[in-house]
């Protein structure tokens, strides 16, 4: 595929924006070519220097630009996993290499418990609780003689139980 067959429709600053734009254009029957996609995916980055070019066929350019102009990258709030989740992710993406932006480090949004919605916290607590119960059952079925080597395992289960209670109570 040569770049002569394609014209520029838009430049996406982040890979998730390029994916959303490509999906919207594909729904409208417009073929999209992202020349920088392979390099971005291989490097594990969110974008290429200068952004990711969304290329379309010359005959589809005007319609593609109109569709992209009417498109918003924010999901409807009823479908968002947590209000402002896309905004939080975008802020993290923009400042992920800036160590002075956040005090205490730049935490990925998926690891930030404060950004989890109530359903995600309950599910996390349930999964941790299931692992604690299964571990307790496993310990109960073992022939029981106190051994000091079991103390770290018991402490881990106690910490996991405390984490489950804390997540469920937030």
* pLDDT at position 80: 46
Q: Which residues of 63-90 are buried (b: 16+ CB within 10 A; e: fewer)?
A: ebeebbeeeeeeeeeeeeeeeebbeebb
Tell me what the mean pLDDT of segment 146-168 comes to: 77
Q: Is the pTM of this model over 0.85?
A: no
- Asked if residue 76 belongs to a domain, the reply is no
Are 101 and 157 within one domain?
Answer: no
- Asked if residue 147 belongs to a domain, the reply is yes
Are 157 and 136 within one domain?
Answer: yes
Closest-CA residue to 56 (of 45, 67, 46): 67
Tell me what the mean pLDDT of segment 30-51 comes to: 78
The domain tally of the chain equals 3
Confidence of residue 99 (pLDDT cuts 50, 70, 90): low
By residue range, what is the domain housing residue 88?
81-115
* pLDDT at position 30: 92
| Percent of the chain scoring above 90 in pLDDT | 10
Tell me what the mean pLDDT of segment 60-81 comes to: 71
Mean pLDDT value across the chain: 75
**Cα–Cα dist 113/167, whole Å:** 9
Q: At residue 115, does pLDDT exceed 80?
A: no
Are 7 and 47 within one domain?
Answer: yes
């Amino acid at each position: 595929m040569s770049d002569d067959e394609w014209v520029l429709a838009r430049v996406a600053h982040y890979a998730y924006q390029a994916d959303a734009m490509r999906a919207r254009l594909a729904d409208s029957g417009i073929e999209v070519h992202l020349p920088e996609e392979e390099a971005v995916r291989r490097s594990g980055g969110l974008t290429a220097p200068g952004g990711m070019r969304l290329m379309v066929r010359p005959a589809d350019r005007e319609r593609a630009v109109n569709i992209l102009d009417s498109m918003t990258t924010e999901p409807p709030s009823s479908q968002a996993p947590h209000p402002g989740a896309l905004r939080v992710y975008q802020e993290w993406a923009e400042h992920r290499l800036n160590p002075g932006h956040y005090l205490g480090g730049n935490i990925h949004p998926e690891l930030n418990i404060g950004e989890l919605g109530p359903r995600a916290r309950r599910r996390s607590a349930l999964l941790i609780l299931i692992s604690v119960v299964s571990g307790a059952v496993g310990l109960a079925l073992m022939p029981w003689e106190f051994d000091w080597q079991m103390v770290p395992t018991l402490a881990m289960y106690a910490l996991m139980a405390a984490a489950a209670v804390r997540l469920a109570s937030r």
